[in-house]
Structure 1
Amino acid sequence: MVRSVVAAVIMVAFLGACMGRTGFRWLLSGIGWTPDSTSYQEKLISAVGATLALLLVYWITHQALGGDTALWVTGSMGATTVLVFAMPHGMLSQPWSVVGGHLVSAAVGVACATWLPLGAWVAALAVGASIFLMMVLRCLHPPGGATAMIAVLGGPAIQQAGFGFLLYPILLDALVIVAAALLFNNLFHWRRYPLALARYQVQRTPGIAPEDFHYALRQMNAYVDIEFDDLLHLVELANEHAKSHGVSEADLVESGCYSNGLPGSNWAVRQILFILPRRPGRSGRVRYRVVAGNGLGAEGICRLSEFALWARYRVERADDGWHRIKGVDPADHGRS
């Protein structure tokens, strides 16, 4: 095991050295590795909550089932604890998804094991059917797929329990996890479980209505694990942040790069070549070059006030693209 880990680390380091910094970042992005926005405190809280809930589930399950069968069921419930404690605001983590997902999947699995000849194909059929029913009943829960497979391949103990397996231990385990999530997650003001307890006063962003979001989601035709009000709240917070961090004339500096912050093909970055300060009877002027986006390579001259209105924020170029500069160095103001 240790040798395998060491070999993997060496291989990753070797790839990084061969591909260079930019190539290595592209590789990480390609495999789905993305920056993490959660604090270590949040990570620890998630881990502690899942551990406490799973200890209780482990004990309950071993009272109903023995040996390897109990371990299988505990494994499925362990996946559920990851969702409800690490992603308590996710749609896949909500009580109906947890309880309904496990019950539907267990029922499908027991039915397949009871009415069909046992075989690997029956387990695969049970998982596929449970996914379909969970989506139809709006209780999609990934660990439910494992529960369906366990009901088919779990052995004599589950076969003897029959449909009673749904109530004990599956239903009881699911209810215990939901109850633990209710008690634990709500100890922290930034966590609310279930999500119905977290309701935001959302001010609709100009030009974007809830119906527009509904239309966009229908066009995507894919399952999005975010509650609709959370999506609107996210856009509202981003809009407020953008409004509160504009660029003033005093922020403009020579050689600085500024983005207009527009989406799609309208996006552009201008670099200030030089600034002509205000003179009596004449406003200050800026000469700039477009260094990215719409109009790449073009140059122009405009008033300081016009450039400040055009610019949303100052940016700088990195290996993986343009990044917003959060603060402005007060020393730069003297050069404007």
Structure 2
Amino acid sequence: MRKFFDPNLAGANLKDRLLACLGALLGIGLTSVISAAFVHPHGAFLLIAAPMGAAAVLVFAVPASPLAQPWPVIGGNTVSALVGVAVRMLVPAPELAAPLAVGAAILVMSLTRSLHPPAGAVALTAIVSGPAVLDAGFAFVLIPIGVNSVILTLCGVLFHRFSGHSYPHRVAGIAPAPINAALQAEDLDKALADLGETLDVSREDLDLLFGRVEYHARHRRKGSTGGFPTGRAA
């Protein structure tokens, strides 16, 4: 039965998952409480947007993900809200507006380097949430989306000062010279191009990871416990 409780993310452990639970509890709790001061007159449901639950999973469970960084959380949610409201105003048929809003939100987030998966739900929320969002208009972008996103991000920054993880994520320990001079940064770029997939990890973290793989492989071959640099220069 133990395998059912093993994390399904590389590098994760039970401690990190428990910390993620605590972080999400505190983050969503504080976001709800503080946002209460900004409740929109068009409806109490606008106190906190449902996509913030998905954003909390990223911020607190995978804080190293490029998709969980402050700009994607705040910028991605905000521009997607703008797109969603604009599409709703221009396209009255929800069955057409819904796919247009999500597709356009992905495009705008990609162009602004703010790709954030929960923001797709923000754009969709603007379409399917009933007349209250339409009545609120672009105020929906600020309240609750903008306010929620800023508070949740600040909670993430504060929480991860004590969690043992950096947030905003910073790649540390890169060595000034490569461990294996035969491997160059351009080799990593070509390998990524070969895969033809978008990976939820930064190029810098991959470079550091491969450096650690080299480090442990050398120790295994030499039977040594001495120190090696912790990464390769990008």
Higher strand fraction (1 or 2): 1
> Which of 178, 181, 200 does residue 225 from structure 1 map onto?
200
Q: CA deviation at 1:60?
A: 4.6
In 1, the alpha carbon distance for the partners of 2:205 and 2:9 equals: 20
> Which residue identity is paired with 2:25?
T
> Which of 116, 130, 146 does residue 171 from structure 1 map onto?
146
Unaligned 5+ segments in structure 1 are 1-24, 249-336
Corresponding residue for residue 109 of structure 2: 134
Alpha-carbon displacement from aligned partner over 1:250-279 (angstroms, at most 9, x marks no partner): xxxxxxxxxxxxxxxxxxxxxxxxxxxxxx
> Which of 46, 49, 57 does residue 70 from structure 1 map onto?
46
Higher helix fraction (1 or 2): 2
Q: CA RMSD in A?
A: 2.4
Q: CA deviation at 1:34?
A: 5.0
Preserved CA contact (<8 Å) 1:83 1:93: yes
Alpha-carbon displacement from aligned partner over 1:10-48 (angstroms, at most 9, x marks no partner): xxxxxxxxxxxxxxx9xx9xxxx9576423221111110
In 1, the alpha carbon distance for the partners of 2:9 and 2:51 equals: 28
In 2, the alpha carbon distance for the partners of 1:100 and 1:217 equals: 26
Question: Aligned ranges for residues 203-214 of structure 1 at < 5 Å?
Answer: 203-206=177-180, 207-214=182-189
Preserved CA contact (<8 Å) 1:84 1:181: yes
Which is further off, 228-237 or 87-96? 228-237
Q: TM-score of the superposition, structure 1-length normalised?
A: 0.59
SS in 1 for 2:163: coil
Q: CA deviation at 1:52?
A: 0.7
In 2, the alpha carbon distance for the partners of 1:122 and 1:57 equals: 29
Alpha-carbon displacement from aligned partner over 1:210-240 (angstroms, at most 9, x marks no partner): 1111222233332211122211111111111
Corresponding residue for residue 49 of structure 1: 23
Preserved CA contact (<8 Å) 1:58 1:74: no
Question: Aligned ranges for residues 118-157 of structure 1 at < 5 Å?
Answer: 118-157=93-132
Unaligned 5+ segments in structure 2 are 224-234
Higher RCO (C-alpha under 8 Å, 6+ residues apart): 2
4+ residue runs over 6 A deviation: none
Corresponding residue for residue 94 of structure 1: 69
> Which residue identity is paired with 1:166?
V
In 1, the alpha carbon distance for the partners of 2:190 and 2:78 equals: 32
Preserved CA contact (<8 Å) 1:60 1:169: no
Q: CA deviation at 1:208?
A: 1.4
